[in-house]
Structure 1
Amino acid sequence: MTTAAITGVVPPVCTPLTPELDVDTASLERLLHFLIEAGVDGLFVLGSSGETAYLDDEQRATVIDVATSVAAGQVPVIAGAIDMTAPRVLAHARSAARAGVDAVVATAPFYTRTHPAEVEHHFRTVAAGVDVPLYAYDLPVSVHTKLSAQLLLRLAEDGVITGVKDSSGDDAGLRRLLQMRGERGPVVLTGSELTVDNALANGADGVVPGLGNVDPHGYLALARHVRDGDLKAAAAEQDRLADLFRMVEAGDPARIGPSSAGLGSFKAALHLRGIIDCPATMPPQLPLAEQEVATIRTLLDQAGLL
């Protein structure tokens, strides 16, 4: 188990399912090998792209077992310990730690109504109860609480969190966090697919892009361009990835929600690329229609991925 900060390109791994909605372990193994062989710097399982909110405890454990077995120390594995309140998060975090993950990720509490002091207490409680590093997941669209830069810096200064996955969509807030952190500040990973070049150029330590399941090589190239100081090449690669990311718009918003459209598009793309056997998503998400999948096929073809 590594306790070092996890940086670079860390895809939030999709969870392939069988038509019967069990975890498809064979497809998951192929996806993990595909990502590792591409050269990713880590694997984040049981996040939003991994449909963790839909998986039962046994399915979550299966995903972690497969990921740690395939990774086998080649790259670190981070696992979401995402649930409503600290006792439930702790149960997931301890289970993941026993299974050998390198770090766990937690959001602010949700469903319950909390005060900012209680959000802080939540993270301190989780960190005190688990012996692997904790990353805070800033995801206000799902948990309805925005983690302030001041809170994140205080938690990092006190050794409560090692890092932050910023999926807030608040580019100004991310920039402020990067400007404010000092030597004891947290590792900062952007969860955006679309502003990665700017985030990395401004000092972010890595990226956790859902689209990285489909095209990890693109995000690795983008990160390399930024490291090399070739921001023009980075911007060009970002533009190419932004065009590919249009797959999340293939689903008709009059028929399905953004989760069905987004996760469905990633899984459809992985299926079309022959990496997973079935593009199923967990209910109540609805599947993409044939015409919508055809749109995704066109985008993949235009990107040279078929």
Structure 2
Amino acid sequence: MSLSAPLRGVVPPVCTPLDHRGDIDTASLARLVEHLIAGGVHGLFALGSTSEVAYLTDAQRATALKTVVDTAAGRVPVLAGVIDTTTARVVEHARAAADLGADALVATAPFYTRTHPAEIAGHFRRLRASVDLPLFAYDIPVAVHSKLDPALVRALAEDGTLAGLKDSSGDEGGLRRLLVELGGRGGRTQGPAPAFSVLTGSELTVDAALLAGADGVVPGIGNVDPAGYVRLYEAARAGDWTLAAKEQERLVGLFTMVDVGPEADMGRSSSALGSFKAALRLLGVIECGDTAFPQIQLSADSVAGVAERLSAAGLPPVR
């Protein structure tokens, strides 16, 4: 389906359910897509960080994306992550995603070696010229070791290279500077790139980002409670900031599940992604809560902690 200009609303980065052998559980993935669409989301981001894209083979990427596209069946747009180290590899992923029916692409700056802003600009421009789909930049400096400069983003928006950006920098001041660079709150429609979409990746400050002028959110924990983020977004769009803050505060409590795995025993990715999958299993959406190797699996005690947080947020487990 065609994207709105700009893309707005709640666009969860879709988890990739695995079975105990590490293979993609396509039946669970299809149920997850239905769960998200039933929650009212405005789009789906397949093959992002929450999708464990870095752990998937090319064949697994294709299986996951095809399942999401086929299950969505045009009801909401599907954005496909084409994340890799170099431009040539990203272009290959982008062509494969286009062939599988993705509606848009999401790419980081190149990484592994340090890159100059001119190289980052060339990377995005070549990718956009190679595959005729809307392209979203994924600003995640913790993974790629470079922060996208607001002036560069504006230039790439103005020349039509980028249709939007997902901000996962964790830099709320940087997000505000970007919004100001693009015209500021209330001036986006008259600014340099009125069709450009800014989506926050911070689950905990969505109300503040929307008030500042962001267009939507890409929340990892939105896999677990998509309807909650949709309620938050709709309240903000209606100008009911009290209701938006109330929903945001409930979701902040739910988000504490990401730390159920003891830091001495496992990485923060293992804990966070494991908690999302454990929650989805407890809610009856997916069959298995395993994360991809070598991430460490949650203990029974940690899963019990996830169950407690679900109940406290009004999402009682069914398993």
TM-score normalised to structure 2 length: 0.94
Q: CA deviation at 1:64?
A: 1.1
Count the aligned residue pairs: 306
Partner in structure 1 of residue 162 of structure 2? 161
Matched, 1:254 2:255: no
Partner in structure 2 of residue 136 of structure 1? 137
Partner in structure 2 of residue 233 of structure 1? 243
- Tell me which stretches of 4 or more aligned residues in structure 1 moved more than 2 Å: 3-6
Matched, 1:192 2:193: no
**CA distance in 2: counterparts of 1:24 and 1:108, whole angstroms:** 30
Partner in structure 2 of residue 175 of structure 1? 176
Partner in structure 1 of residue 186 of structure 2? none
Q: Is the 8 A contact 2:158 2:192 kept in 1?
A: no
**CA distance in 2: counterparts of 1:184 and 1:222, whole angstroms:** 26
Q: Is the 8 A contact 2:114 2:145 kept in 1?
A: no
Partner in structure 2 of residue 274 of structure 1? 284
| CA offset digits 1:178-215 (Å, max 9, x no partner) | 11212415210000100000001111001000010000
Q: Is the 8 A contact 1:16 1:276 kept in 2?
A: yes
**CA distance in 2: counterparts of 1:248 and 1:112, whole angstroms:** 30
Aligned to 2:45, the other structure's residue is in SS state strand
**CA distance in 2: counterparts of 1:208 and 1:223, whole angstroms:** 11
Q: Is the 8 A contact 1:139 1:168 kept in 2?
A: yes
Runs (5+) with no aligned partner, structure 1: none
Superposed, 1:215-230 pairs within 5 Å as 215-230=225-240
CA RMSD of aligned residues (A): 0.9
**CA distance in 2: counterparts of 1:235 and 1:158, whole angstroms:** 36
Partner in structure 2 of residue 81 of structure 1? 82
Superposed, 1:199-218 pairs within 5 Å as 199-218=209-228
Partner in structure 2 of residue 285 of structure 1? 295
Q: CA deviation at 1:2?
A: 1.2
Q: CA deviation at 1:152?
A: 0.6
Q: CA deviation at 1:4?
A: 3.2
**CA distance in 1: counterparts of 2:3 and 2:68, whole angstroms:** 18
**CA distance in 2: counterparts of 1:213 and 1:117, whole angstroms:** 36
Aligned to 1:217, the other structure's residue is in SS state helix
Q: CA deviation at 1:237?
A: 0.7
Supply the AA of the counterpart residue of 1:8: G
Supply the AA of the counterpart residue of 1:100: G
Supply the AA of the counterpart residue of 1:207: V
**CA distance in 2: counterparts of 1:212 and 1:274, whole angstroms:** 16
**CA distance in 2: counterparts of 1:17 and 1:165, whole angstroms:** 26
Q: CA deviation at 1:3?
A: 4.4
**CA distance in 2: counterparts of 1:284 and 1:153, whole angstroms:** 38
**CA distance in 2: counterparts of 1:132 and 1:55, whole angstroms:** 23
Q: CA deviation at 1:113?
A: 2.2
Partner in structure 2 of residue 299 of structure 1? 309
Partner in structure 1 of residue 126 of structure 2? 125
Partner in structure 1 of residue 42 of structure 2? 41
Aligned to 1:79, the other structure's residue is in SS state strand
Partner in structure 2 of residue 10 of structure 1? 11
| CA offset digits 1:243-285 (Å, max 9, x no partner) | 0000001111111111101101100100111100000111110
Supply the AA of the counterpart residue of 1:11: P
The percent of aligned pairs where both chains have the same amino acid is 58
Q: Is the 8 A contact 2:168 2:201 kept in 1?
A: yes
**CA distance in 1: counterparts of 2:144 and 2:281, whole angstroms:** 30
Distance 1:236 1:99, change over 3 A: same
Aligned to 1:135, the other structure's residue is in SS state strand
Distance 1:301 1:227, change over 3 A: same
Q: Is the 8 A contact 2:140 2:147 kept in 1?
A: yes
Q: Which moved more, 1:111-120 or 1:210-219?
A: 111-120
Aligned to 1:105, the other structure's residue is in SS state strand
| CA offset digits 1:111-143 (Å, max 9, x no partner) | 122222111111111111111010000000111
Q: Is the 8 A contact 1:139 1:167 kept in 2?
A: yes
